[in-house]
Amino acid sequence: MKEKKEKITGGDYLSLGIYAFAGLGMEVLYAYWLEPVIYNAPMQDWSDIQIIVHWILTCITWGTFAFILIQRSGKKYHFALLEKGKAINLWQMGLCALFILLAFIVDYISWGGFKVYLEYVNKGFLLFAFQYLYYAFETMLFLLIIVFGQKACEVWFRREKIPYGGIVCGLTWGLAHIFTKNLLTGCLGIALGFAMGSVYLLVNRDFKKAYVVLFFMFVL
C-alpha cells in the first residue's frame, strides 16, 4: 500500500513566515535583555566594538534562520526559493525603479538628506560597513516573510495577483515598530512592507531579483 502523501496547507507556509519574523525578533532579546546584562549598560551607551559585536551576533542569527527556512521550504514543502525565475519586462524594471525612487524620497525627507551619506558621516567607515552588512541580512528575513506570507494566502484564497506577502510583512513589521518606536514609523513600515510585497510580484516571484530590489529600497 502506498503511503499517503501529506497535504501542504497555507498554514505550513505561514508558519515559515512566522519563524522568519521570530528570527528578526531575536535581536530584541539580544539588545534589551542579554547584552545589557553582559555589558552592564543599555544599548545607547555601548562602545563601537560592542555595537559591532551586536551586529555580528544578529547577522549570524538571521543568517542561520534564513538558511534553515530556505532549506526546509525546499525539502519539506517542495517550494524552492533560489531557482532562477522568469525574465522580467522593461515595464516591470521601470516599476521596480519607481519603487526604489519612492523609498529613497521617503528616506530623504525623514532623514533630512541622503541616508547613506549621513550614516557614513555619522558612524565612520567601520560602523557604516557593519551596519550595511546588518541591513543585508535583515532584508533577507523581510523577504522570507513576504514570500511565505504570499504563498500561504495564495493557497488559501487561490488568487495570485494580490500582494498578500506585502500585507503580512507590513502588518508584522509596522505593528512591531508602533510598539517599539512610534506611530509614524509604524505606518511607514506598513506602507513599505506593502510596496516590497508588490515588488516580489513584479519580478515574477524571483527570490534573487526581489532581494536586490528590496535591499536598495531598504537602505536608500
pLDDT tens digits along 76-88: 988 989 888 788 9
User: For 30-42, how does the pLDDT look when each residue is reduced to its tens digit (9 = 90+)?
Assistant: 999 999 999 999 9
Distance of CA 218 to the CA centre of its chain: 9
Residue 134 has pLDDT above 60, yes or no: yes
CA distance 50 to 40: 11
Q: Which of the four pLDDT bands, split at 50, 70 and 90, describes residue 167?
A: confident
Q: At 150, list the grid cell.
A: 504570499
| Residue 168: pLDDT over 60 | yes
Where do we find the cell 545589557?
36
CA atoms of 63 and 140, how far apart (whole Å): 8
What cell was used for 88? 522580467
What is the amino acid identity at position 102? L
Mean residue pLDDT of the chain comes to 89
What share of the chain in percent tops pLDDT 90? Answer: 61
Global pTM reads 0.89
Tell which phi-psi region holds residue 47, choosing left (phi > 0), alpha (psi between -120 and 50) or beta. beta
pLDDT in tens, 116-126: 999 999 999 99
